Chain A
Amino acid sequence: MKLPRLTDTTLRDGSHAVSHRFTPEQVRTIVHELNKAGMPVIEVSHGAGLHGSTIQQGFSTFPEFELIAEAINTVKQAKIASLFVPGIGTSVELRKAAEMGLDVIRIAVHCTEADISQQHFELSKQLGLEAVGFLMMAHTQPPTVLAKQAKLMESYGADCVYVVDSAGSMLPSDARERVQALKETLTIEVGFHAHNNLGLAIGNTIAAMEAGADQIDGTLRGLGAGAGNAPTEVLVAVLNKMGLNTGLHLSILMEVAEDVVASLLTYPIVIDRDNLASGYAGVYNSFLLHVRHAAEKFGVSASEIVEELGKRQAIAGQEDWILDVAVELAGRK
């Protein structure tokens, strides 16, 4: 098995878990340590991507471009990436990020809507960015559908397309079949992004690698939306044990996870009732804190909200439906 490229997204997916309150100092420290450990790619942006600072997603405490600039100025060899969601981010932010020296843009859409990303892939390539596609909520579609959507992204100029388990809802066989379908259809690289709602973030990442994944993601201490991601330091330990020489300094990763990232947590990232309900019902992980806010405001149970969102097939970016569901559940009481 070949060694995939690792992207650490503590400072992007992890942004959800700290309610988008990362400070420039935290970014500098974490990027410095990741860079020192030899991390190839480090993702920094609002959890919902560039321009994600909104009422719907939660406002950032510090302007996103200040954080991205801090990361770019701190790294030596690592590449800096940002997430970009069409409809949230626009060409204006893409241009600005490229001008600042961003290396990689990861363009994320709901996994049936690849054709809304054409203008952004084309612009990213014109701007000289490495462009990675993200097919979110990939558990909702069969491998053949995902492969077709990924092919569209390839035709727009994508350098890689990820299968993204946004809800942490996949089993290893789900991850394997989806990555395999993309590998068979595409000529570009294929990636896998995991969440841990069913305790399978590491396992699914390994399954994706067995199917040929070229790129994988992790976050320090698993810091990420909902139940969190595949913990970077654990992933590296596992890869080393598998005999794949990552070349990454495990001890540095373990230290920054323990000494820096663990202290940022305001609540434990564990598979509690809400996170398990979310993974089980296939509900987008970034909803968690919004669900808890609405549950408290309207006096209803968070798990019930999650369950109803699952029934309604809510997708990324639909935090407003949480309020709608909470009001409706409160009305039934």
Chain B
Amino acid sequence: MTKVKVGILGSGNIGTDLMYKILNNDGHMELSVMAGIIPESEGLIRARNMGIRASHHGISAILEDPDVRIIFDATSAKAHRQHAEMLRAAGKIAVDLTPAAIGPFVVPPINLHEHINTFNVNMISCGGQATIPLVYAVSRIAPVHYAEVITTTASRSIGPGTRQNIDEFTYTTAHGLQSVGGAKLARALPVINSADPPVMMTNTVYAAVEGDFDENAVMSSIIEMADEVSKYVTGYRLKTTPFIDDRDTPWGRLPVVVILNEVEGSEDFLPAYAGNLDIMTASARRVGETFAEYILKNEEVSL
């Protein structure tokens, strides 16, 4: 079967985990290059051992291969701002796992198909990938006036980039909850817990709903959505049946749909507790797969 050649830019934890996800799961993508900037980085060594072309020449190693069609950028927001233009000029599709947010936000079960012809899409944040589907599941049935999400992660799974930019995490995730999740107003609150053994990623969604609504329809919508996400993030699950808790809010006493979620990593490279990293790489793989399938289908037609 013909496959679409893809590359990974960034040989850190995220890039390496994504590499194993692509290699361990059959699909429409063929990983042909892994590029970083640190010659002896573990990611590059591992790529080489798996028979993948690995280079420490960063973006140039990607650009020199015209056959590579889709690039996963797992570097940093600053680096991606430079990569974006170069990749676009080379006609390569960029799946951006950094907070650069140059392209539109994508959450696979919600809006991926709207952006299927886009050359640069952004994966928002780990908290966003986990909670935006849940908020959307409520808002497609009943108007969500305000969504608030709490993303709890293990301290050991949070790298220096996120630590130095905690404000950006909150802004980006809240923005995604509104623009993609359909909440009128939104807040995102990250919690970093240093418990030993490390805690698994958990997400709590509070969706304050306006007016009368069909409670059963909301519950089924949430359960259906969680199933949908678990098709590509295998450790994604609801911790309990969602429930309603009436709360006093600045907009009066409102029913709040409470959804408790947990994400267990699939341990492709990173430990099980790091569901926050797993959901980023698994979602990015899903995006890549969808793009690759679309490219193959179109090319079949043109032949």
Contact = CB atoms under 8 A, between A and B. Distances in A.
Contacts of A112: 155, 194
B261 to A, nearest CB: 10
B98 to A, nearest CB: 17
B14 to A, nearest CB: 19
A145 to B, nearest CB: 10
Contacts of A245: none
A324 B242 CA distance: 11
A323 B152 contact: no
A113 B158 CA distance: 10
Nearest to B170: A90
A62 to B, nearest CB: 10
Contact of B206 (A56, A88, A113, A115): A56
Contact of A315 (B169, B193, B248, B258): B193
Interface string A292-315: 000001000000000000001111
A163 B195 CA distance: 19
A88 B189 contact: yes
Given A54-B148, A86-B166, A317 B191 contact: yes
Interface string A94-106: 0000000000000
- Chain A interface size, as a band, is 20 to 34
B249 A110 contact: no
B250 interface: yes
A119 B167 CA distance: 9
A88 B150 CA distance: 10
Contacts of B164: 115, 118-119
Interface in A220-242: none
A314 B152 CA distance: 10
Contacts of B165: 119
Contacts of B239: 324, 327
Interface in B178-208: 187, 189-196, 199, 202, 204, 206, 208
A320 interface: yes
Interface string B133-163: 0000000000000101010100100001001
A251 interface: no
A113 B170 CA distance: 17
A155 B252 CA distance: 44
B193 A318 contact: yes
Nearest to B197: A313
A320 B148 CA distance: 11
Interface string A105-145: 00000101101101100000000000000000000000000
A115 B163 contact: yes
B213 interface: no
A252 B210 CA distance: 47
A53 B250 CA distance: 9
Given A54-B187, A115-B163, A110 B245 contact: no
A280 interface: no
B81 interface: no
Given A56-B148, A119-B166, A315-B191, A320 B260 contact: yes
24 contacts: A55-B247, A55-B256, A56-B189, A56-B204, A59-B250, A87-B169, A87-B190, A110-B192, A110-B193, A110-B194, A113-B192, A115-B163, A119-B165, A297-B245, A312-B199, A314-B193, A315-B193, A315-B195, A317-B189, A317-B191, A321-B202, A324-B204, A327-B260, A328-B240
Interface of A: 53-56, 59, 86-88, 90-91, 110, 112-113, 115-116, 118-119, 297, 312-315, 317-318, 320-321, 323-324, 327-328, 331
